[in-house]
Structure 1
Amino acid sequence: MKKITKLLWVFGLVMVLTGCSANQEQPNTEVDETTSEVEESQTDSGENAETEVIKTVEPTFGGTLRIASYAPKTLDPLKNDQQSVLQVLGLVYEPLFVLDETLMPIPVIVASHSFENEGATLTIKLKDNVLFHNGVKLTASDVAYTINRIKDVDYSSYKNQVRPIKNTTVVDELTLKIYYNQGYAFALSDLTFPIVSRQYVSSSDYDEMFPIGTGPYRFVEYQQMQNFDLTANLDWHGDGPYIENIKGVIMNDGQAMETLFDQKLIDIMNPSNFNWLKYSSNEEQNITSYTSSYYDFIGFNFDRPLFLDKETRQAFAYAVNREFILYDRYINHGKLVNAPIIPGSWYATGRELYYNYDMDVAKRLVESKYVDFDGDGFFDYADEAKQTSIELTMLVNKENSLRVHTADIIKKDFEALGFKILLDVVEPNLYYEKIESGDYDLLYGGWKMSQVPDYGSLFASNGLQNHIRYKSETMDQLINSIVGAYTMDQLKASVNNFETHMIEEVPYISLYFLDGAVMSGKNVYGKIHPNTEWMFHGIENLYLDF
C-alpha cells in the first residue's frame, strides 16, 4: 500500500459523502478537508463577535471504521446470500470488473481484454501485480476455477452471471479465454463476481469462515455473534486505503442498523429502505445518494377484461400523480421513469417522461367507454338495471409501510378518474400467494432490478415472474433482440424499442426508481461511489478524523 504523506488543504464547507441516495445520478459530491467551529470573542468596544476557528482534517493513514452486519452464515463469497455480509466480503475480495455510476464495466484486476467471433470469445489478461492475502499470486487458473465453482455449487447468487459461459481456456499464467454460446452486450458486466484462490479453496486447509481474497482489506477474525475485524492490505495493487482497520458490529435485524448509527456505535450504513423523511434534515450525518435499482410500479391483471383495453390502461397511467407522490413520500429522492430501465445507466435512452399527470386527458380516454348510471361519481357495470359500481382491488404488501401510505394517494387518483378502488393490504405471505393466484385487479409493488437487466423473466409471455399475465409476441421479440445484442449500439437500440413498447402498451404503470443512500458520521471524510449492490466503491478515498 502506498503510504500517504501529502497534506491536502482545501478550504470551504465540509461536504462528506453527500448526494442523493440509492437513486443517485450524482452519487458523489466534492469533499473539503476542513471543518469550522465558531467561537465568541470580544471586540475593542466590548461587544461579542464571532470568529471562525478552522479545524484541518488531513487524509492520514489510521483509524477504525465501524460498520454493521448480520451474523454471517458463511464467509465464502460464492455461497453468501446475505446483503450485509456481501458489503464485508467486497472489501476482502475483488472481481474482474466493477460497474461505475453509469453501470459501465470498469476493470479491477484486468490489464486488458478483447473480443473475437462477434463477441463469442473474450480474451482477458490479468494484472501482473495482484497477490492474495496469503502471498500467492493471482493467475488465470484462479479465474477459471472461480467460474467453474460457481457453476458447480448448489447455490450461488452469481449463477446467472456465468450461465452464458460455455467454457474457459487458460492460455498462460495471466491470460484466459472465455467462450460464450453467442456474443452479448453484458458479457463484461456479468464478470463482477469475486475471484477466489484455487490453491486455498481447493485445499484441505480451506475454512469458509476465514476468507482470503485480493482486496484492499485482509480478514483478521470473526467472534461469533459479536464482531469481525479487517485490516488494511499493505500489499494491495491499488492506491492503498487511508482507513487502517474496519470493525463489523453484528446486528439482529435491519432496524438495529439505524439504532446503532443513531447511537453513534457505527460510523457508516446503507439501509435497504432509506427513510428520507427521517434523515434528510438531520445535520448529524453526511449523506451520499445514488440511483438505486429499486423500481416501483402498478401492474394490471390481464385476466381482467377491463384491462385488455389499451386506452383504459393509458388513462390509469395519466391519472397517477407520480410527481406528487415522489415529493410527498420521498422528498423528490427518486427518478420518474417510462419503463424499468435504470436512470443514468449507459443503455438508458434519456427520453422525456411520458404520462405526466393529466386528469383531463385521462378522463377523455375513458369517458366514451364507461358510464356512471347512478351519478355517484364511479363508473358502473354495463347492466343499467343493477347500477353497480365497478370495484377494483389493488393489492399492497403490508410489510412496506411507505407503499401502504402511498396506496391511499393512488386510490384517490384512480377514484377521481371514476373507478372505485378497494385496497387489499395484506401480510407478505398472503401478498405473494394472491399474486401467484391472480387474486387482484391492480398490483402495487416493486422490484429490485438487476444491474444487468433480465427483462425476459418479467415481461416475456412465459416469463417466470410475469405475474400480470401479459402476453405479447412483439414484447417477446423485443426481449430477444436485447438478449441477442452484442454491441453497445445494438443494445441501446433494442432498449429504446423496448421502452417505446412499454409506453404504448402500458402493461405496467412505471412509477419511479428510488434513491438509495449511504450515511456516515461527521468523523468520516472523502467520497465513495455506492450502488445498490455495494456501498464501498471507492473505499480507498475515505479517511477518518481520529
Structure 2
Amino acid sequence: MYWDSGYNNNPSLAESWEAVSDIEYIFHLRKGVLFHNGQEMTSEDVVYSFEHAMDESISAYAGWLSPVASVEATDDYTVKVTLKEPYSPFLDVIGRPAVLVMPAGTFEKEPFEYIGTGPFKLKEFEPGVKTELVRNEDYWEEGVPYLDGISMSYLLDDAARAANLSSDAVDFIMMVPGASWESLTQQEYKLFTGDTGIFFMFTFNVGREPFNDPNVLKALQHLVDRQVMCDVYTAGRCNRFFAGDPQPPTSQYYTGIEYFKEPDIEKAKEYLAKSNYPDGFEVDLNFYGAASDEGQIAEILQISAAELGIKFNLLATDHAVWVEKVYKGEFTAALQGLYASSPDDIFYGIMHPEGVAHGFAPNFDIPEYNALVEEARRVTDPDHRRELYTEALTIGYEAGWPLIYLFTYDDRMGMHPDVMDYQVDGLGTVRFLKYVWLDR
C-alpha cells in the first residue's frame, strides 16, 4: 500500500485488503512480484518483514506496530494480521509504509544488501555523500520506470543546492530555499509544490528549566509570528498556519481550538510575568544545518524573544548530533520539521510517553491526557474521536503544551525544464520518480 497526495491508501504489493473484524485484517498480495535478486515475493516474506519491523531492537517503526498481536501467512499470497485491540490508525501505518518488504532471512544473511521490490535497484550507497540507483528491469508495474538510473547527492547548504540547479549541475533538487524561489522562476526552472503535511515547530523539554513552567510555554506560544517565519522559509508559500490544533480544518477530527491566531506581545508579557522567570532567561536552541532557512526562522524567534528579556543561543547542529540529541529528547529547545498525516501521529505518536516520536516532546507526561489519546486509538467513530482529542488538547495546553506549531508548507522541488511528470505523495518522498522522464 502507499499514500497518494490526498493521504489515501492505494494498492501496491497488496492488490486488495479488508477488515474482517475490529482486530483482523486480510491482505491479498500481488502475484509475480520479483525482488531485486530475482526471487518471487510471497506471504512468507511479508510475515518476515512485519516481524522485522515490529522488533524494537532494530526497527524505528516498532512503536507504530506495537498493537499488532500476530501476522500469519494463510497461503502463498494471503496475509492475516491480528491486533491486540482495535487500532483505528492501523491502515494509515501500513500505507506510510511502516513495513518495507524484503526477502525472508535478508537481515540475518545480507543486512546491507537493500533488496526490495521497487522500480530502482541500489548500485552504490555512501552515507551522507551519494546514492546511485539503476533501473529495475523486472519491476512489477509494466512500462516503468522510464529513467535508466538516478544519482543522488546530499547538499545541506541551501544556497549550494540552488546553485547546483541553476548551473545545470543537477536536474532536480529537494527543498528549494525560499530565497531562491524567485530567481529560479525567472530562469524558467520548474518549481513543484504539493501539500505533504510537513510542518515546522519549536519544541521544548518540559523536564528542564525554564520550560517546566507552563506560563513560560504560554508566553512563547503568543509571541511567535508565524507569517514572518513563513515568508522567510517559503517566500510566503505556506499552506496553513496553526492557531492551536495542529490538524487541518478539513480533518474530520479537527477540534476547532484556536488560541494563537495572531502574535500578541502583551499577552506574552502577561504570561511571562506570571511565571518563575518574569525577567526572562537564557537558553540554547538547536536547529539543523548551519546555512539554511531553518536558521533564519530561529533568528526571528531570537529577536522577538529579546523583547521579553529571553535570550536564545542559536546552535546549528549537524546530522550526527541531531540524531544523537534531538531525536532522543536530549535537548532543551529545538526547531524541528516533521510530518504528521493523522491525529494519532501527533496526539499519541509525539505527545504520549509511549509514542514512537516522543523524543520531540520529552518529559511531557500527563495521565489524564494519556488516557484520552489511548482511548482515541481504539475508537472508530469520528465524532467520538474528535471529542476525545478536543478534551485532550484542552488539558494539554492548560498544563503547558511543549510544541509551538508554526505552519505547513508545500513540498518544494526544483527541476530542469525537461524533467517531466513528477508527482509527490503525502509524505513528501520521491516515491513517484518511476514516472519521471526527460524530454531531451
How high is the TM-score relative to the length of structure 2? 0.76
SS at match of 2:100: coil
2:241 alignment partner in structure 1: 336
Cα shift at 1:331:
1.7
1:529 alignment partner in structure 2: 424
1:354 alignment partner in structure 2: 259
Task: Give, in whole Å, the separation in 1 of the partners of 2:247 and 2:397.
Answer: 16
Summarize the Cα distance change of 1:132–1:432 in structure 2 as closer, same or farther, 3 Å threshold: closer
| 1:195 is the counterpart of 2:107 | no
Task: Give, in whole Å, the separation in 2 of the partners of 1:203 and 1:469.
Answer: 35
Aligned to 1:238, which of 141, 148, 153? Answer: 141
1:513 alignment partner in structure 2: 408
Summarize the Cα distance change of 1:320–1:530 in structure 2 as closer, same or farther, 3 Å threshold: same
Q: Would the aligned equivalents of 1:103 and 1:346 in 2 still touch at CA under 8 Å? A: no
1:65 alignment partner in structure 2: none
Task: Give, in whole Å, the separation in 1 of the partners of 2:330 and 2:38.
Answer: 55
Cα shift at 1:420:
0.9
1:413 alignment partner in structure 2: 304
How do 1:207-286 residues align onto structure 2 when only pairs under 5 Å count?
208-209=112-113, 211-217=114-120, 219=121, 221-222=123-124, 228-231=132-135, 233=137, 236-238=139-141, 240-241=143-144, 243-249=146-152, 251=153, 253-255=155-157, 260-271=164-175, 274-283=176-185, 284=187, 285-286=189-190
Q: Which amino acid aligns with 2:373?
A: I
Cα shift at 1:390:
0.9
1:425 alignment partner in structure 2: 314
Q: Which has the larger radius of gyration?
A: 1
1:446 alignment partner in structure 2: 336
2:60 alignment partner in structure 1: 157
Q: Which amino acid aligns with 2:296?
A: H
Task: Give, in whole Å, the separation in 1 of the partners of 2:396 and 2:210.
Answer: 19
Structure 1 gaps of 5+ residues are 1-96, 371-378, 382-388
CA distances 1:415-468 after superposition (whole Å, capped 9, x unpaired): 54xx211222235459949x9678x6xx34225245561644643468753756
1:143 alignment partner in structure 2: 46
| 1:396 is the counterpart of 2:285 | yes
Q: Would the aligned equivalents of 1:347 and 1:495 in 2 still touch at CA under 8 Å? A: no
| 1:477 is the counterpart of 2:371 | yes
Task: Give, in whole Å, the separation in 1 of the partners of 2:288 and 2:125.
Answer: 32
Cα shift at 1:524:
0.7
How do 1:30-179 residues align onto structure 2 when only pairs under 5 Å count?
97-118=1-22, 120-133=23-36, 136-151=39-54, 155-179=58-82
Q: Would the aligned equivalents of 1:396 and 1:403 in 2 still touch at CA under 8 Å? A: no
Summarize the Cα distance change of 1:305–1:413 in structure 2 as closer, same or farther, 3 Å threshold: closer
Cα shift at 1:161:
4.1
Which one has the bigger helix percentage? 2
Task: Give, in whole Å, the separation in 2 of the partners of 1:361 and 1:393.
Answer: 20
| 1:459 is the counterpart of 2:354 | no
Cα shift at 1:99:
1.7
Q: Which amino acid aligns with 1:295?
A: F
Summarize the Cα distance change of 1:405–1:544 in structure 2 as closer, same or farther, 3 Å threshold: closer
SS at match of 1:391: coil
| 1:181 is the counterpart of 2:84 | yes
Paired residues, number:
417
CA distances 1:148-172 after superposition (whole Å, capped 9, x unpaired): 3334695233433443322222112
Two-structure CA RMSD over aligned residues (Å): 4.1
CA distances 1:222-264 after superposition (whole Å, capped 9, x unpaired): 498887341253x544353362412325x46544755543442
Task: Give, in whole Å, the separation in 1 of the partners of 2:287 and 2:108.
Answer: 47
Cα shift at 1:195:
1.5
Summarize the Cα distance change of 1:128–1:501 in structure 2 as closer, same or farther, 3 Å threshold: same
Summarize the Cα distance change of 1:427–1:133 in structure 2 as closer, same or farther, 3 Å threshold: closer
CA distances 1:318-373 after superposition (whole Å, capped 9, x unpaired): 33222222224432233311457454885662847531225376169559x56xxx
Summarize the Cα distance change of 1:136–1:333 in structure 2 as closer, same or farther, 3 Å threshold: same
Cα shift at 1:182:
1.4
Task: Give, in whole Å, the separation in 1 of the partners of 2:116 and 2:334.
Answer: 42
Q: Would the aligned equivalents of 2:241 and 2:407 in 1 still touch at CA under 8 Å? A: yes
Of 124-133 and 170-179, the range deviating more from structure 2: 124-133
1:376 alignment partner in structure 2: none
How high is the TM-score relative to the length of structure 1? 0.63
Structure 2 gaps of 5+ residues are none
Of 238-247 and 104-113, the range deviating more from structure 2: 238-247
Summarize the Cα distance change of 1:363–1:157 in structure 2 as closer, same or farther, 3 Å threshold: closer
SS at match of 1:390: coil
CA distances 1:274-320 after superposition (whole Å, capped 9, x unpaired): 4111234413421222335343125374765897455x654542332
Summarize the Cα distance change of 1:104–1:459 in structure 2 as closer, same or farther, 3 Å threshold: same
Cα shift at 1:486:
4.7
Task: Give, in whole Å, the separation in 1 of the partners of 2:425 and 2:80.
Answer: 30
Percent same amino acid among aligned pairs? 14
Q: Which amino acid aligns with 2:411?
A: G
Task: Give, in whole Å, the separation in 1 of the partners of 2:78 and 2:182.
Answer: 48
Task: Give, in whole Å, the separation in 1 of the partners of 2:108 and 2:330.
Answer: 48
Q: Would the aligned equivalents of 1:121 and 1:180 in 2 still touch at CA under 8 Å? A: yes
